[in-house]
Amino acid sequence: MKINKAYKFRLEPNVEQQVILNNLVGSARFVWNQMLAMSFEMFANNEFINATNLVNKIMDLKNNPDFEFLKSHSNAVSLQQKVRDLASAWSRFFDPKVHARLKENKKKIRKLKFFKLADGTEIQLRPLMPRFKRKSDGCDSIRLVQFDKYCRIEGNRVKLPNGIGLVKFRKSQDIIGTIKNVTISKKSGRWSVSFGCEREIENPIHPSKTAIGIDLGITKLISTSDGQYIKPKNSFKSNQVKLAKLQRQLSRKVLFSQNWQKQNRKIQKIHHHIANIRHDYLHKITTNISKNHAMIVVENLKVVNMSQSASGSAVQHGRNVKAKSGLNKLILDQGWGMMVDMLEYKQHWQGGLLIKINPRYTSQTCSQCQHIAKENRRSQARFECVKCRYVANADFNAARNILAAGHAVLSAEGGCGKGRPMKQKTCGLREKAT
Ligand SMILES: [Zn+2]
């Protein structure tokens, strides 16, 4: 079985190397924006937008005398990759499935934005359409493919093209596998390098034989069917006050002025800091769970109605009430999805199984006698079955139901599940059943 893994390190270019790198990421951003403007024209003319069409237009840009710098200050491979990224952004936009999911999640509609076409008419920028990139976003990157052809690694240094030469990176772990591509990114002034590797491994057999059900929540990030709880790392909370203050200050500054830029960089730094902490934390949790359990059962987040009972009446508080409030919710949504994704690929690597089940009634069902009733859920934390009087923590009860549902999915397939194909089959089955 082939597995892909990325190894990311802090990159430490010297001053001259930074100049070249800045030019490279800058021209890649420039090409993205130019191509995006062009593709809006194509969109308005009902022209077909795909990778080949867009890649073919790179030459036009390079030959434009106004954009002379592209010839000397860009990397051809990375420009092509950037344009391919744009093409896949468009294909997501054209994918009806993605739109259906967006509708389901009922994301807040932002203020309408428009793009002015060459003939003076405007088109409305719709949700999911690719967006223009700004330098002030503080987030730039280029990707090079055919690593062996253009780059190589020497100890803790990587040789990069365009006369950059050998650049030091903080090699904190060994890079295993064949490097296929390399991404160099700059986030809030910090450079990093990520090597995309491919490795062939024998079909792994998970060392453990246990199964676990997991309930995802707000106050307890994870409740497991064996009675464990893991708290969320509220990296956001502790930085919230600081962030709010900086944002207030930003609003008083002249847009895109020197001071504004400076302030904006500070804000981005905090955002990245928060994201890093959360990311690390989720990695630790998911690695641990994945190592210890051959089968992990979670609720299918795509089916979980995030807004369900979120408004919460005075009598019956929904489990998402707190999280509904603005940014907190957004971060949590992302956290859950990210966590399930991590569990999924980590199980895949370990030869384990991840089963996503329909979340229906998992919180209202008695895990002892299977009686389903709204009244079972006495409060946010307490579960008491109206039929058999079984009392438990509500999240623990839900986690046990989730595990049971996972077993049910497996037995519907017939026999105990081993390996990847089973998981995919069961997923299909669930989707049909819901
Ligand atoms: Zn009961």
Per-residue pLDDT tens digits of the chain, which is 434 residues long: 888 999 999 999 999 999 999 999 999 999 999 999 999 999 999 999 999 999 999 999 999 999 989 988 899 999 999 999 999 999 999 988 887 777 766 555 667 888 888 888 888 888 889 999 998 888 899 999 999 999 999 999 999 999 999 999 999 999 999 999 999 999 888 999 999 999 998 888 999 999 999 998 877 889 999 999 998 877 666 788 888 899 999 999 998 899 998 998 899 888 888 888 888 899 999 999 999 999 999 998 765 544 443 333 333 344 444 444 554 555 565 678 889 999 999 999 889 999 999 988 999 999 999 999 999 988 888 999 999 999 999 999 999 999 999 999 988 875 444 444 444 444 433 443 33
- Among 412, 203, 208, 423, smallest CA distance to 298 is for 423
Single residue among 172, 200, 228 that ends a domain in this structure:
200
Number of folded domains that form the chain: 2
Q: What are the backbone angles phi and psi of residue 189, rounded to the nearest 5°?
A: 85, -5
Dmax (CA) for the chain in angstroms is 80
Is residue 102 assigned to a domain?
no
Same domain (yes/no): 174, 87 = yes
Same domain (yes/no): 194, 218 = no
Same domain (yes/no): 190, 310 = no
Ligand 1: distance of its center to the CA of 394 in Å? 13
Burial category of 153 from C-beta neighbours within 10 Å (exposed 0-12, middle 13-18, buried 19 and up): middle
Same domain (yes/no): 152, 220 = no
- How high is the pLDDT of residue 413? 73
Ligand 1: distance of its center to the CA of 318 in Å? 21
Burial category of 282 from C-beta neighbours within 10 Å (exposed 0-12, middle 13-18, buried 19 and up): buried
CA distance 290 to 281: 14
Residue entry with tokens 């344009």 = 83
Q: End-to-end CA distance of the chain, in Å?
A: 31
Same domain (yes/no): 147, 215 = no
CA distance 218 to 206: 30
- Residue 347 near residue 296 (C-beta atoms within 8 A): yes
Residue 333 is among the residues annotated as catalytic for this protein = no
Cβ-count burial 200-219 (b if 16+ within 10 Å, e if not): eeeeeebeeeebbbbbbbbe
Ligand 1: distance of its center to the CA of 371 in Å? 5
Single residue among 173, 200, 227 that ends a domain in this structure:
200
Same domain (yes/no): 194, 270 = no
Is residue 324 assigned to a domain?
yes
- How high is the pLDDT of residue 227? 94
Same domain (yes/no): 194, 229 = no
- How high is the pLDDT of residue 403? 96
Q: Which of the residues 215, 226, 333, 375 is marked catalytic?
A: 215
Same domain (yes/no): 295, 215 = yes
Give residues with Cβ within 8 angstroms of 403, minimum separation 6.
211, 212, 213, 225, 297
DSSP one-letter string for 144-204? EE-HHHH-EEETTEEEETTTTEEEEE---S---SEEEEEEEEEETTEEEEEEEEEEE----
Kindly report the number of other CB atoms within 10 A of residue 95's CB atom.
12
Q: Which of the residues 299, 341, 375, 431 is marked catalytic?
A: 299
Same domain (yes/no): 253, 301 = yes
Ligand 1: distance of its center to the CA of 388 in Å? 4
Residue 280 is among the residues annotated as catalytic for this protein = no
Q: Which domain holds residue 69?
A: 2-94+111-200
Residue entry with tokens 């062996």 = 148
pLDDT in tens, 206-248: 999 999 999 988 778 899 999 999 988 776 667 888 888 999 9
Is residue 242 assigned to a domain?
yes
Residue 215 is among the residues annotated as catalytic for this protein = yes
Same domain (yes/no): 163, 252 = no
Burial category of 340 from C-beta neighbours within 10 Å (exposed 0-12, middle 13-18, buried 19 and up): buried
Q: Which of the residues 47, 95, 198, 395 is marked catalytic?
A: 395
Ligand 1: distance of its center to the CA of 384 in Å? 8
Ligand 1: distance of its center to the CA of 378 in Å? 13
CA distance 340 to 351: 16
Single residue among 200, 235, 265 that ends a domain in this structure:
200
Averaged confidence pLDDT in the chain: 85
Same domain (yes/no): 225, 152 = no
Same domain (yes/no): 122, 217 = no
Q: How far is CA 352 from the centre of its chain?
A: 22
pLDDT in tens, 287-332: 999 999 999 999 987 655 444 433 333 333 444 444 445 545 555 6
- How high is the pLDDT of residue 236? 66
CA distance 140 to 194: 13
